[in-house]
Structure 1
Amino acid sequence: MTIRFTGSFKDYQAHNPDARFTNWLAAKGEPYWTQATSHPFTQAIGDGTMPSEAYTRYLIEDYTFVTDLASTLGFLVAKAPGMRSKAKLSGFLALLTSEENDYFLRSFEALGVPAGTYEAAAQGPVTRAFSDVLLSASGEGSYADGLVCLLCAEWCYLSWGQREAAKPRPDQFYLAEWIDLHAVSGFETFVNWIRSEMDGIGPELSGPEQETLASLFRRMSRLETAFFEYAWTGKASNLL
């Protein structure tokens, strides 16, 4: 099991002189960070062994989450310190509400999920907790608070997406396209930008402010693991 680093960013730098602030966040997020990025659910997407009932469960929950993610991006656009940052976030918001939404609709059809089912679906407890953290951090917290939550969510998907993209694509288009959406260069560029943005902000904050960001990243990593676990097993997680 990957061991969590418990020290400050300065302590981490002392042991890892070339480390980025985001490396420290990931180390503080263990073991949940590794559990999320390597969860069996993500591996089953890549090798095509995903049970249809598990992926249906996942897609319905993720579909209910998209609106909250869009709201999170809206809060961050408003709080971003400069036009360049606003443009980056706005561009991702536009992608989320167009290409990704189309993917959901086609996938639901292929899996035989009626529109009435996913349109009327209520968020499960894991998704609700995940959304609550994102909306609270981005809406009520600082720009850095919201950004660190977005970083965890998108960096996690880039991590497993690039790993699974190295495999032959599964036959199911909804699995193959989900990998591609999270392994393409445009998504990598966006996640790397979030990392760079956080790497610039984080070191300038006070020690307590840095620890707040680390706590948010760790909480998000834990909930990401719980989200995959619920989709995979259909059972409530003890990680909430």
Structure 2
Amino acid sequence: MTTLFDRLRDGAAEDWHAYFAHPFVDGLAHGTLPEAAFRHYLVQDYLFLIHFARAYGLAVVKADDLAAMRAATATLDALINHEMKLHVDFAAGWGISPEEMEQAPEAPECMAYTRYVLDRGLAGDVLDLKVALAPCVVGYREIAQAIAARPDYVADGNPYAPWVAMYAGAEYAAVADAAVAELDRLAAARLTEARLPALTRTFAEACRLEAGFWEMGWQAGQGDKPPRFWSKLFRKRG
């Protein structure tokens, strides 16, 4: 069965690939990602989760039936009371405290993606919002499982192997599966073929912003090297 997520990913193949195959991902797979890059990513990802919790709060407001309200509420509860605690515990292993993350300035790339998601939710309906969220919620599962299956994946001695295991594991897979199913449930009531191109553009934009989030972390580990990724990413839109 082809899901709405499958159709969106296929329709935004180029932007999905830029996100899925970013050098940051290769660094996670090989264990070669500079520590500074991962530490910067961890701090910004915590701030990212705060805004994603707000997005799921908006999903409750935008929902037009109890099933959608319950789904959004369950995810909001999981984000605030479970995933953010896991993130704090994980960051502690890298010597990063909750106070350090909460007080860190928000990077432009974090602002760009999280505010885009909120904008799509405010301007559109709950399906627009969930499509904008999907590259993150489902994409992390897809990326982590692909890393774990790579023949060049270095698990032994890889400081990023716990990150891969967390997002490739069964617990997070259930979260991703629920998000895919929720997209299909919403699509059954709201999707038309005429609407699909706009949703695909939203998905593609979210993938570009996710790739930009990787790039933010990547550049933090590159010293004084000038960034090249954004100009390439947006060249086709210039």
Query: TM-score if structure 1 supplies the norm length?
Result: 0.80
Residues 34-66 of structure 1 show CA distances to partners (whole Å, capped at 9, x for unaligned) of 121222212322332221100011111111111
Of 199, 212, 216 in structure 2, the residue corresponding to residue 226 of structure 1 is 212
Tell me if the contact between 1:88 and 1:190 (Cα under 8 Å) persists in the aligned partners: no
Shift of 1:231: 0.8
Structure 1 counterpart SS, 2:138: helix
Gaps of 5+ in 1: 1-17
- The alignment-based identity, stated in percent, is 23
1:46 to 29, 33, 40: 29
* Contact 2:27–2:33 under 8 Å retained in 1: yes
1:120 corresponds to which residue? Answer: 103
SS in 2 for 1:123: coil
Residue identity opposite 1:52 in structure 2: E
Which of 181, 186, 199 is equivalent to 2:166?
A: 181
How many Å separate the matches in 2 of 1:28 and 1:222? 14
- Aligned equivalent of 2:180: 195
The CA deviation string for residues 104-162 of structure 1, in whole angstroms up to 9 with x for no partner, is 33344333446554222122111111011111122332011001012121121011111
Question: Are residues 34 and 111 of structure 1, via their aligned partners in 2, closer, same or farther at CA, if it must alter by over 3 Å?
Answer: same
Number of residue pairs the alignment of both structures matches: 222
Q: Partners of 2:89 and 2:55 in 1: how far apart?
A: 25
Choose which of 202, 219, 230 in structure 2 pairs with 1:237. Answer: 230
Q: Is the CA contact 1:230–1:237 (under 8 Å) kept in the aligned structure 2?
A: no
Letter of the 1:209 partner, please give it: R
Decide whether aligned partners of structure 1 residues 230 and 205 sit closer, same or farther in structure 2, where only a CA change above 3 A counts: same
Cα drift, residue 224 of structure 1: 0.8
Q: In structure 2, what is the equivalent of residue 148 of structure 1? A: 131
The AA in structure 2 aligned to 1:213 is: L
Instruction: Look up the SS of the partner of 1:182 in the other structure.
Output: helix
Distance 1:113 1:196, change over 3 A: closer
For the residues of structure 1 that align with 2:157 and 2:78, how far apart are their CA atoms?
A: 25
Distance (whole Å) between structure 1 residues aligned to residue 86 and residue 29 of structure 2: 17
Structure 1 residues 68 and 169, CA, compared in 2 at 3 Å: closer, same or farther? same
Tell me how far 1:80 sits from its aligned partner: 3.0
* 1:9-158 alignment, distance < 5 Å: 19-113=2-96, 116-158=99-141
Q: Provide the TM-score with structure 2 as the length reference.
A: 0.80
- Aligned residue identity for 2:200: A
Aligned-pair Cα RMSD in Å: 2.6
Question: Helix, strand or coil for the counterpart of 2:172?
Answer: helix
- CA distance in structure 1 between the partners assigned to 2:162 and 2:67 by the alignment: 29
1:215 to 2:215 alignment: no
Deviates more, 1:151-160 or 1:84-93: 84-93
Deviations 1:184-231 (CA, angstroms, capped at 9, x unpaired): 223222322322332344465344422221111010011111111121
CA contact (8 A) 2:31 2:154 kept: no
Shift of 1:79: 2.7
